[in-house]
Structure 1
Amino acid sequence: MTSECAIWDLRTDENFFDSKKINHSNLSHIVVKSSNPMDLLREWYHDVKKYADPNCTMPNLMNLATCNSDGEVHARNLYMRQIVNDNIHIMTDRRGTKCKDLIENTNVACTFFWCFTKNNIKYARQVRIQGIAKELNTEETQKMYSNEPLYCKIRSHLCHQGLPVEWTEAKAKHDKMYEEVLAGKNPLPMPDHVVGFEIVPHKFDYYQADGEIIGDRVVFEMKWGKWENYHVYS
């Protein structure tokens, strides 16, 4: 028996572009107003908050790629908790793969991707960040934990990140803990395995395509203690 090679051509999907209807071209342009790349990140973040559908867009959701000492790369989506002194703060479980990677290899890459419509024009924006991860002290992590929503605090007590689990057992433990919280019997203090990290960027790569045209990219690099930026082909 022979098997045929199945090809899933996404260009035929109705949500992809129709090449017969697109008979125009142009080049997008990213306007750089500041030498600080974080200023552009904040500007774009506020655009997403203003113009994107809040029901399906999470502006602070980013992909974090890490690599362990064996060269294995792991990528996952998580929340950027806050920006402090132009550095990105995240939280995780010290017992999980993510934390182990960050300890073995502090080099990381983050990616934000946003789509929204502004003035009847569809925008696609991507921000790629390369940097170094540094563990935050307990006091700084505690400040972030204190601002976490209830379900995140319960998760930190309930879940051992990455371990196999029997769902019904986990559900029973969750419901019991939730009842204790509602009854004022469990204040959910920060567990010892909760850890915060600070990502110190040294390179930003901004991409923008407004409408069905050729995208523009702007790269910011830290050189000799100073940010430099330049456009590159997309």
Structure 2
Amino acid sequence: MSENELTTSDFTERNEPFDIFADWLKEAEASEINDPNAVALATVDENGLPNVRMVLLKGFDLNGFVFYTNFESQKGREILGQKKAAMCFHWKSLRRQVRLRGDVEIVTDREADEYYKTRARGSRIGAWASKQSRPLESRFALEKSVAEYTARYAIGDIPRPPHWSGFRIKPVSIEFWKDQTFRLHDRVEFRRETPDGDWSKVRMYP
């Protein structure tokens, strides 16, 4: 029996979804070529029309799954408007998928400040220079904005923009999927009524 088969058998028997996710992410970090923390983020606008795009997971714990963005971007506006979102991780090399959804809260200023300081200086400049998700008249206009903020913050610290922070998805559903032969995949969903409630586990038909 292979190591992956042993892991698959184990995950269907375990009862704590955050522990399973931690193990799967660790294995993805060892097997994925690029960005094992990349995740599809789904939101919905005021008309009920969905949007999806890739972002990077920047942290998770028992409180939820955290990513950072410009709050004036399309995804930022949609999350602030609806306070709900969903994520889908797909690790092709491991033939695994994790889906989750739930309510969204804004991270604390302290969390956002601490993460912002870890970003490359150019990325911190970019957070100021880019009017994310809005029309751009030319590439030159973006480069000009970058140059302006580079000059403004040429020396010393670069403060976090007031419109840039993080969101935390507090899941009420987390589903683990593992590829199996003949499309008879393993699917286990953890559910709870509220973000602070107890989990129940349901094994699903593939």
Q: Tell me the TM-score normalised to structure 1 length.
A: 0.75
**How far, CA to CA, are the matches of 1:223 and 1:185 in structure 2?**
50
Of the structure 1 ranges 167-176 and 58-67, higher mean CA displacement relative to structure 2 is found in 167-176
1:229 to 198, 201, 205: 201
**Alignment-derived partner of residue 112 in structure 1:** 89
What are structure 2's unaligned runs of at least 5 residues? Answer: 1-6
Match of 1:17 in 2: none
Q: Which runs of 4+ in 1 moved over 4 A?
A: 175-181, 210-213
Secondary structure at the counterpart of residue 100 of structure 1: helix
Structure 1 position 88, deviation (Å) = 0.9
Number of aligned residues: 196
Secondary structure at the counterpart of residue 164 of structure 1: coil
SS at match of 2:92: strand
**TM-score with structure 2 length normalisation?**
0.84
Match of 1:62 among 12, 21, 39: 39
Tell me how large the CA RMSD over aligned residues is.
2.3
**Long gaps (5+) in structure 1:** 1-27, 117-122
Which residue is equivalent to 1:127? 98
Mapped contact 1:30–1:218 kept (Cα < 8 A): no
Query: Letter of the aligned partner of 2:47 in structure 1?
Result: D
Which structure is higher in helix share?
2
CA distance in 1, matches of 2:148, 2:48: 41
Once residues 50 and 107 of structure 2 are traced to their aligned partners in structure 1, the CA distance between those partners, rounded to angstroms, is 23
Shift of 1:81: 1.0
Structure number with greater Rg is: 1
> For 1:229 and 1:220, how far apart are their aligned partners in 2?
5
Q: Quote the residue 2:166 is aligned against.
A: 196
1:110-142 per-residue CA deviation (whole Å, 9 max, x = no partner) reads: 0000022xxxxxx31110001110112322211
Identity of aligned residues (%): 20
Question: Matched residues in 2 for 1:169 and 1:160: separation?
Answer: 11
Q: Which position in structure 2 is the counterpart of 1:167?
A: 139
**CA separation in 2, counterparts of 1:212 and 1:58?**
29
